[in-house]
Every structure is written in C-alpha cells, then in structure tokens.
Amino acid sequence: MKGADPYVPGHGDLSYEVLHTDLTLTYALPSNRLEGEAVLTCRAVERLTQLRLDLALTPKKVTVPGHQVTTFRSSGGRLLITLPEPVEPGSQVTVRVRYAGNPGPLRLRGFDPAGWEELEDGVIVASQPHGASSWMPCNNRPSSRSTYDLTFTTAADYHVEFSGEPVSSRRHGASRTWVFRQQHPIPAYLATVQVGPYTVCEQQGPVPIRVVAPPGIRGAGFTASFGRQPEMMACFIEAFGPYPYPAYTAVITEDELEIPLESASLSTFGRNFVSGDWENVRLVAHELAHQWFGNAVTAEQWSDIWLHEGFACYAEWLWSEASGERTAREWARYHHGLLAQGPDQPAPLTGPTAAHMFEDWVYKRGALTLHALRVEAGEAPFFEILRTWVAAHQHASATTAQFLAHCSEVVGRDLAPVLLPWLDSPTLPDLP
C-alpha cells in the first residue's frame, strides 16, 4: 500500500486533510483496554467518494451525520469509509468512528515500534513517525494538521497529560475525566497521551512550564537539567522568536527510556535523563527546541527531517554557548572532526532515506549546515533568518527549498551555493 510518504508506506492520504479531531476515550489500565469515539472534520483536497483513515484498533461503528447508514471496512491498519455522497474539493465532511481494542506500539519495517506503549505503571504515546494510528483514527502524514479536543477517562488516582492545554478535571467515583484542547493544528504523530502516578511541579519562566513526574524526582540532577528549563526557554525565545504554544510540559516517567521524544507542547523523558551530565542536559534543550523546529514548523515530508533534527541539534550548541559552556563554534569544530573521520555520508541530507533518517549524521550534518549559514550570513542576519522562518511557517508545513529561498531573501543574495554542498554533497565540506 503506497500511502502519502514513501518513508512510511501504508500511512496517510493526500486526497483530504483532517481539520479537527474530537476524541472521547475511556481507558482501563489493568487490561490496557481503550474504548473511543472520534469525530473528524475533514476537508477534501480531491473529489472524495471514499475516506481512508489510519486506525490499528477495531472500528465498531462509523457514521456520517445526516445519513442513517455508512458502509466501512477495515484491513491492515486502514479504515475505508464509503461516503453516502461525493465530497467536492474544498468541501467538508464529518465522520464519527467508534472503536476499541488493546493498543500497542505499531511495527513498520526499518523503524522501531512506535505509538501507544504500556509502562510498568502507566502509558506513554510516542508516535514518530508512524504510530499515531495505534490509538486513534487519523490521516497519518506530517503535512496534515488538525486541532484537537480530548476527553479522557481513567482511574482516579492517575494523572493524565495531553499535547494541549488542560481544560478541566473531574472525579466521579473511582474514575476521573480529564479534558484538554489543542488550539493549534498539529500532525497526528505529535499528539500524545501520558498516564501515570505523577505529581506536578510548576516552574516560573517566560511562559508557564510544568514538570510532570513521579514523586521524589527533585534533587541535584533535576536542578542541573530540568531545573534550567526556564533559562533555556528564555534563550530560545530570544534566538527563535516567541514560544509557539501557550505552555510547555515535560513528562518524566519512572521507567527508563532509550530516548526522549517531543510532541506538541510536551516532551517525554525517562527518569534516566535526570542528571547534570551534558549528554542529558543537551537532550532537555533539544526537545524544547523542537517546539519551534519540528512541531510549530513541520517538514512537509519525512525526507526533510533535517529541518527538525538539525535545528534542534544546533539549539543544543546555542544553549551550551549561552550557559557558559562550549561555544557553538567549538561544538561545530568537534562534530565536524568526528564526521570527517568517518566515511562519506550515505545519502543527501535532504533525502537521507527511511533507513538513515534518525541516524546521528543527519542531526550533526544538519547542525553544521546551520553553523555554515551563521558564518556566511553573520550574527544578526542568521538569527533574523531563524525568527522570521518560524514566524512565516508557524503551525504549517515547510520544505528545504522554501528554507533556501527564505535565507536568500533575508540576506539579499543567493545562499544556495553555500548551503547546497552541506545539504547534497556526500563529501563533507570544510568547516568555515
């Protein structure tokens, strides 16, 4: 099955967009049983007689409001809905899907399992790049963005978080219902649910920051890493422009996690990242920077993932510089030396292939590309490029071609000859 993006075959559809997703979910922790109802407001890009949604769980009933009967079938993680009448391009259609099942991470050849995952005591959802349909019906491509309302009911003694703003929390007997809203359109893979026996720590900063974590997490390691998030936020607001969401949340699980992962307005870490070691501190900065690069401005296709990871990696170096540690120039020299010792990169940075898209050279080569841009453009123009890039494409999709054009427009001359060797050449250019 082809899908919308060659890197994640069998996922996503280019014939329509989801504008809004209203989810009502009930979750039983002991049995990992999820029952849900999703109301999706969709806009046709092409003339539609059918609607293909991504959904790994079992659909129970599908309706189109105003019509008594809606035909559907489900196979291979796809829900195919026959629409009662054609929908013309630009017009909207609403579908209601009731579904249930035992969600779990989805497997896709070449990738680690992604999506809904049970912890020792709770749940995380880490969907990049293909796992969003493990727990909700969606159009699972990075270029389709939806706003969200979530109503989530589970055991009363558990705390729930979502990649959106909390609206209310109400207990009824042994259960509690949480309501959240994400007012900015986000791709499905950036929507997350976190469930656990957590406490909440509020941090004072330029925007509201919350750390949601197991009790007793605070200590010297916490102070040296997550305790510095307000300073990181101030640093990145100065460098990248206004923070793109109303607030930021960091969830720290009791379980150890292999890697942290960003979602819209929320990042997820394991307890093993709570320390003052640079390798952990840089990841706290990295995930925060993704709120600008990756979440607010999202690559139109996965082949341009350097627009996420290269930028977030360079943000690590900026934080190091701002906090009195190594400068970005020193980090660039260090990582350039490491890459220079290795073989030529296996693919262009602007098309690393699905097999390489999460490899470290994509992150570091992307960051070095930005450092080369900083040297060529100069300090003030470089940061103007970053701030105006976010402002111009906020809560939308973007491409490398657009970034090259944007850089040239800001500095008033063609920067493609400077940047293309970093983006496309298998041989590492000299560090400027």
> Which residue's entry shows tokens 């290795």?
342
Structure tokens at 277: 């070691």
Q: What is the DSSP letter of 272?
A: G
Is 264:191 a contact under the CB 8 Å cutoff? yes
Whole-number Å distance between alpha carbons of 267 and 270: 10
Q: Is 309 marked as a binding-site residue?
A: yes
Whole-number Å distance between alpha carbons of 4 and 277: 40
What DSSP element (H or E) covers 59? Answer: strand 58-63
Whole-number Å distance between alpha carbons of 331 and 337: 10
Residues 6+ positions from 419 with CB-CB distance below 8 Å: 369, 372, 373, 404, 407
End-to-end alpha carbon distance in the chain: 45
Q: What is the DSSP letter of 277?
A: S
How many beta carbons lie within 10 A of that of residue 122, not counting itself? 22
What DSSP element (H or E) covers 288? Answer: helix 278-289
Whole-number Å distance between alpha carbons of 182 and 136: 16
Q: Is 286 marked as a binding-site residue?
A: yes
Q: Backbone dihedral region of 173: left (phi > 0), alpha (psi from -120 to 50 degrees) or beta? A: left
Residues comprising the binding site?
286, 290, 309
Residues comprising the binding site for Zn(2+)?
286, 290, 309
